[in-house]
Chains A and B, each alone.
Chain A
Amino acid sequence: MAKLIHADFYKTFHRVYFYILVAGLAALCFLMNYAMRGGMLGNMSSSVQFAVMLLEYPVIILPMVTQIVFSEEFQFHTLKNTASYGTNRTLLFTAKLITSILLCMILAAVVLAAYFGSMFIFLKHDAEFTSSLLNNFFMRLGVSCAVYAACITMSAFFTVLFRRNGLAIFFYYGVFYLMQYFLVLLHLEKFESYLLEAQFATIRKLSVTSFQKPLMVSAVTTLVFFIAGAVAFRRKDLC
Chain B
Amino acid sequence: MSAPATVSTDASHAHEGKFHVFVQLAMILVIITGMELLVIYMPLADWLIITLLMIMSAVKFVAVIWVFMHLKWDKRFCTVLFVIGLILGAGTLGALLLLHGADAARPVGPAYDEAA
Check if A and B associate: no
